[in-house]
Amino acid sequence: MEFSREINNFIDEYVSALKEGNAAIFAGAGLSIPSGVVNWKELLRRPASRLGLDVDKESDLVSLAQYIYNDSKTKTPLTELINNHFSQTGRINRNHEIISELPIRTFWTTNYDKLIEQALIKAGKRPDVKKRVNDLAVIKSKRDAIVYKMHGDVEVADEAVLIKNDYELYEKNNQMFTIALKGDLVSKTFLFIGFSFEDPNLEHILSRIKILLDDHTRTHYYFIKEVAEEDYPNNAEGKEQFQYDKIRQELKCADLERYSIKPLIVKKYEDITAILETITERYNRNNVLISGSAHEFNDYKVSGINAEDFVHKLSKTLNQKELKIATGFGVGVGSAVINGVLEGMEESGTRNINEHLIMRPFPQYATNGKEIGQLWEEYRQQLISECGIVIFMFGNKLTKKEESDEDIVVEANGVIREFDIAVDKNVKVIPIGVTGYASRKLWELVINDFHRYYPEFPYLKDKFIKLGEDGIEFNQLIKIVTDIVIEIRGGE
């Protein structure tokens, strides 16, 4: 989908923050509402009515919670609301999945539910959850992300931040959370997601940012759904309320700038998911899978270098363009990929191989009650989901004729399958046709229907045509492949 200039600029900034390890999420109730979690206003509806109040007429829900506390002289009715609702409802939604799969190590939330932690675990990560101040002193070993639950957790509902008293004493009782938040606001780029203008927590958080940082903060971002006329009754009263809310939203957006928070206006809530998916897609374009296998190289038609040295040199060149290279250890290809990346690392003086190489050797026999074909399919799906670009080369394997024991070389159906998976996942495909075999077939598919595969890059077709030009000089070919990858990634 098409995004506004402001949102495209945000996507670029946030992808850069992800690459640098400086991206963070601040989640409000709206992140969990699509999961079936009722917002705080709805939870307070019944206890408010017992006091003779209409929750729809109340904007200060913190004060409303205080009134409920004052009436019973205990937080029990409020903590029971949390226990009864948040421990029994909610499921991970698509936005939870996306943010948990991205390389984000810092999550802050005012939510009491456990959906962020559950999503991280589902993504194969180990969350270190901070529910209380005392948790800050304990570091979970081998943690992949920290989840700061600054207003508490359903498991300790009696300690949750709920009423005016809690907010007034927050700095005294939760000072270490405040200090940790201040450090992250200075050093990371936050995306505030799931907050609304009616959420009382937002005002408290924004004022805290202003006090904490005294205008010395990074730029952060905040999703806002545009006030839309179709959401209002088609009568004079509805039109008047629409105009009022529209003006109020414009003023609110301008006010957010005081806190170095740039509003990101979306037409509908589903746009947020599309934006997050685009962030994932663009971030993954820094990861390039080299797909291929080669029992032989007889159809290889590149001049000036042998096949394995070509793979080595291409891998090295891509690595030195700050791209992470992925390999599944394809026969005749995987070793050359690894050697090329290692040489590039040595020349650039870097040692952390995890920043340069993704290695996923395929299992060689069935395990856990799964057939080998099923395991390979799962490996392919997972590996390609971590990448935004796949380069295909060669693609042949040795097999036996059905009617005899004679060995023959055929197209590698695994390489073709990886092409299909990549296309299904909207991963960009670059078949190098001059390497022959399955890659030649895939190159012809792309060239003959180029707009299908590259609707946003029509000007790259001439470069793709060169990828099938027999006898092309290897340096020229490497430059063309590198230029295509850099263009897809979004520049140097």
As annotated, the active-site residues are: 151
Residue 24, token pair as written in the block: 């963070």
- DSSP-derived secondary structure letter, 22: -
What share of residues in the chain are helix, strand, coil (percent, to 5)? Answer: 55, 15, 30
Q: What is the rounded CA–CA span in Å between residue 477 and residue 466?
A: 8
Contact present, 379 and 360 (Cβ < 8 Å):
yes
Order of all β-strands in the sheet with 287-293: 357-359, 324-327, 287-293, 389-394, 428-431
Length of the chain: 492
In a 13 Å sphere around the CA of 355, the CA atoms on its Cβ side amount to 14
Sign of CA dihedral 270, 191, 206, 61: positive
SS3 of 409, please?
Answer: strand
Contact present, 279 and 14 (Cβ < 8 Å):
yes
The phi, psi pair for 346, rounded to 5°, reads -65, -40
The H or E element spanning position 288 is strand 287-293
| Pairing between β-strand 396-400 and β-strand 407-411 as defined by DSSP bridges | antiparallel
Q: Where are the alpha helices (DSSP H) in 124-269?
A: 164-168, 170-173, 175-187, 200-213, 236-256
Contact present, 324 and 356 (Cβ < 8 Å):
yes
Q: What is the rounded CA–CA span in Å between residue 160 and residue 149?
A: 10
The phi, psi pair for 192, rounded to 5°, reads -85, 120
Contact present, 189 and 22 (Cβ < 8 Å):
yes
